Every structure is written in C-alpha cells, then in structure tokens.
Structure 1
Amino acid sequence: MSRRDSTVVLVEWFVRIAGQDPLVQALVAGVIIAGLNLLGAVLILVWSDPSERSLDAALGFAAGVMLAASFTSLIIPGIELGGEGGVLKVIAGLLLGVAVLDQADRWVPHVHVLVTGRERGDQTVTDANVSSVVLFIVAITIHNMPEGLAVGVGFGSGNLEDAIPLMLAIGVQNIPEGLAVSVAAVNAGFDRLDYAALTGIRAGLVEIPLCLFGAWAVTAASSILPYAMGFAAGGMLFVISDEIVPETHTHGHERVATLGTMLGVVVMLYLDVVLASGG
C-alpha cells in the first residue's frame, strides 16, 4: 500500500468513527489524546521507579514532537489558510498565545516544582497537602490547554490530512507527559495506584472541552482560523521553552534529553510527510 493510500485509509477510518461533523471529530480526537495521557499516567503501575535519565529523554521526545507539530500542523497551514497577510495573522495569534500562557504561568507554580521537588531557587517542597494538590492539577491543566486547543483548531479547519497527524503527535507526546505527572504525584507522597490514574484523568480531561472549543470557534468564525492556529502554536512553544526544556536540563542529562528532542522532531516530521502529504 502506498503512502497516499495509507493516508486515505486513515482518514476514511477516522470519518467512519467520528462522522463528518467537525465538532464530533474534535470530541473523538479529544477523547483519544486524553486517553493516551491516561495511558502514560498508569504506566507507573508497571514502571514503578523510572530514572531521571529516562524521564528526561521521554520529556525531550515530547518536546520534539510538539516543536515540529507547532510548525507543520499549525503555523505553516495557518499562513497558507490566511491568504494575503496570513503570516501576520499567525504571528499575531502566536504572540497572543505566548502572552496568555505567560500570564497563566504566573498564577500557579511551575509544573516542574512537583516533578522534581524543587522550585527555581532550590526551594524544597515538603508538604503534600490538599492545597499543593489543587495547585498541581491547575498547573498541569494550564500545561495541557494549548495542546487540546491545537487539536480542536486542526479539526475545525476541515483539513483531516493535517488534523490527524496533529492528533497523533499530541497523543504520542501525552504518554511521557502522563508518566511524568504520575511520578510527580508519587514524589508528593500519594498512593501510586489510586492517584496515578486520577492524576492522568485530571490532566487529560481538560483537552476534551478545549478540543471542542477550538473546533467550534473556527467553524463559527472561519476568519479567525489563522489567528487560532497561531495562538495554539504560541502556547505550545511557550510550554516547550518555559517548562519542558528547563526541566529536562536540570539533572545532568542534557545530552540524552536533546537526543530525545531530536527523535521527537524526526518522528513528527515523518508522520507529517506520510499522513499529511501522502508523498
């Protein structure tokens, strides 16, 4: 079967499941990426004590996938769909996405505070109380928001050949992120069996309504599509630079984290060529 035939088969398979309505497609996509987040979270049940080196490599891979997807599935298609002035529309959306994530990042502790037990400045986190759990869930929710929005915008655009690779990319990178969330929960002193699953659900569920919102927004007002694509890409790029890269470079495993990032970029580029261009 040729690459083009594989693309057609995958699109047809997805349409058989989700139908033709972009909102239903976004809902199905949201369930898929949230489910893969949960899969990553429950991996701790069989991989009870992943090393920092392994986590840094896995998170580096997630960063690489998100980095490539930001350009191949959001920024470049957004520029093309924006017509005249498309690049300025995408840039405007991107800057707004960065500004929103930057402001949200000021409201809650950084995600890596609870992953490593350290805050910037090496202030140790010692109390695993209800307040810290609530802040932790809020931080993870903010972290996942641009991912869910990006997938919803992709399906709202109506271009399944771009949207499906983006869904797969976000879903794949959700697996190591989900595992990292579970590790953080265990490090905070919570029961591995119960809290790992609950954390995965909490971290991933936000992506479902945001998928729906992204798809609804661009179908209700198609003119905002390039801005929305830029916004989603800006949020993802902010998370990569502000959270994931610093986290993977604090334990002395910078090289393996960088190699993981490069592998993630390669995997996403391959997915984009095989599934989107069919070439």
Structure 2
Amino acid sequence: MNPALKGILYSSIAGMATALGGIPFLLWRREVSRKTLDVLLGFAAGVMLAATAFSLVVPSINLGGPLQFIVGFTLGAVFVHIMDKFTPHEHLIKGYEGPLSHSKMAKIWLFVIAIAIHNFPEGMAVGVGAFTKEAIVIAVAIGVQNIPEGTAVAASLTGAGYKRGRTFWITFLTGAIEIIGGLIGALLIAIARPLLPYAMAFAGGAMLYVISDEIIPETHSGGFELLSTYALVIGFVVMTLLDNLLG
C-alpha cells in the first residue's frame, strides 16, 4: 500500500478507537468515579510515553541523527505550548485555559478544542510513522491509548450532564480529529521525504508535552496519584511488550 494512504487509513482506525471507549455510555448512564478516570488516563499516558520513546524518538535519531531529533522534538513541544497558550479551550477537570479574556464560545466546543490540541499530534504521529517500519506499532499504540481516553472523555461528559447520544458523538469527534493530523503528516512526508526524522521527532515532542503538562497533572490532582502512577507504569509495560511483539 502507498505509505501516504496507509498513514491516512491507520490514523482513521486509531482515531475511531476513541469511539469504542464511548460505546458503554450509549448503553447506560452511570457516573464514573474520579479514581477510575485517573487510572484510565494514567494507563493512556503510559502507552503514549512508550510509543513516544520507542516508536518516534529512537527511529528519528536513527534516521536523521541527534541534531534533527533535537530540532524536531523541541519544535513539537513548543507548538503544543503555543496552542495551549493562545487557543481558548476548556478541560473538564483543569478548567479554562488560553487567552486571559474568557471566550464566549460554548463550553463544550472549548472542550473539543482542548482534545483537538492533544489529539492532532497523535494523528500526525500515525501519518508520519506510516513511512517507517514502525507504522503498525505506532498505530496500535495510539489506538490502544485512545480507548481508555475515549472512556474518560465520555465519562467526563456524562458526569457534566450531557445526554448519552451527544456524549457519544462528541467523543467520536475528538477521535476524528486524529484523522486530520494523520492526513497532514502523511501528505507532508509524501511531498518532502527528507522531513521524516524531523516530523517523527516533532510528533514525539508534542506528545511528551501533552503527557507532562496535561495528563499527569490532571491525574495527580484528585488524590489518586499513586494509582494513576501505577496505571502509567502498566501502560508503559504493555506498550513496550506490544512494540517488541509487533516489531
């Protein structure tokens, strides 16, 4: 299969895995505890961390060398930081972030924007990774972590009072954002193949920034930091084993 088409296909499948996590909330309306949310997000963070290290950072260095890795990785982190600072968005746990003047946009769209900022680099990682031998590993990693992430998103929306149907479609939309990232990443490398090591490092830097700046602080703010830490360790171990099995 053409690598660009593979990147688009894989990012679509990985993104739609988010909707799998929201399916239970179509069947029943039950509030999920903060402890469960922190464990789910901790596991997702561990999977993302392993994918970043072994499927993006290491291949980037192998393909382009330390300098290209440093440039791409730093730019990825800075990109998400700028998006966080200048784009109005809302976290259901952390609250509003962005420009000091509070946005008049509907709160739910602020929430969707927040997820978009986080999921775009994940989709880009899958799209870019399609041009490497780590293609399936990256896609599986993002897909696996998207399932508990989707559950956490749907649980948060349900707890905030949103109806089941709307909760599912918003969860679906947050996963669909990864398709855009995958499309851009795949087309970018198809046009300019020498950018591959930079792009892989960029996606890795963006994902690591999200893990450190958003996911871990949120899972450590509700009193269940020990459980979320062990969930992260388990997620890291699971993804490392999958990386070896699939690689």
Global fold match (TM > 0.5): yes
| Structure-1 residue corresponding to 2:125 | 150
Residues in 2 aligned to 1:43 and 1:165: alpha-carbon distance in whole angstroms: 26
Report the CA distance between 1:130 and its aligned residue.
Answer: 6.0
Match of residue 30 from structure 1 = 11
* CA distance, structure 2, for counterparts of residue 45 and residue 259 of structure 1: 29
Q: What is the 5 A alignment of 1:26-105?
A: 26-46=7-27, 48-82=30-64, 86-105=65-84
SS of the residue aligned with 1:200?
helix
Deviation at 1:119, TM superposition (A): 5.5
The alignment yields a C-alpha RMSD, in angstroms, of 1.8
Question: 1:197 aligns to what?
Answer: 168
Question: Matched residues in 2 for 1:158 and 1:165: separation?
Answer: 10
Amino acid paired to 1:223: P
TM-score, scaled to structure 2: 0.91
Which structure 2 residue ranges, 5 or more long, are not aligned?
98-103
Deviation of 1:204 after TM superposition, in Å, equals: 0.9
TM value normalised by structure 1: 0.81
Per-residue CA distance 1:2-47 (angstroms, 9 max, x = gap): xxxxxxxxxxxxxxxxxx1112211221221122101112232356
Structure with larger Rg:
1
Letter in 1 for 2:135: A
* 1:108–1:135 Cα contact (<8 Å) kept: no
What is the letter of the counterpart of residue 186 of structure 1? Answer: T
Aligned positions, number: 240
Write the deviation string for residues 104-137 of structure 1: whole angstroms up to 9, x where unpaired.
11134565x31x37569xxxxxxxx961112111
Q: 2:187, 2:2 → 1: CA distance? A: 11
Q: Is the 8 A contact 1:30 1:151 kept in 2?
A: yes
Cross-structure match for 2:201:
230
Separation of aligned partners in 1, 2:228 and 2:21: 18
The more displaced of 258-267 and 48-57 is 48-57
> Is the Cα–Cα contact under 8 Å of residues 25 and 168 in structure 2 kept in the other structure?
no
Query: Structure 1 residues 50 and 184, CA, compared in 2 at 3 Å: closer, same or farther?
Result: closer
Using the alignment, how far apart are the partners of 2:25 and 2:41 within structure 1?
A: 15
Decide whether the 8 Å contact of 2:39 with 2:231 is kept in 1.
yes
Q: Partners of 1:130 and 1:102 in 2: how far apart?
A: 21
Gaps of 5+ in 1: 1-19, 121-128
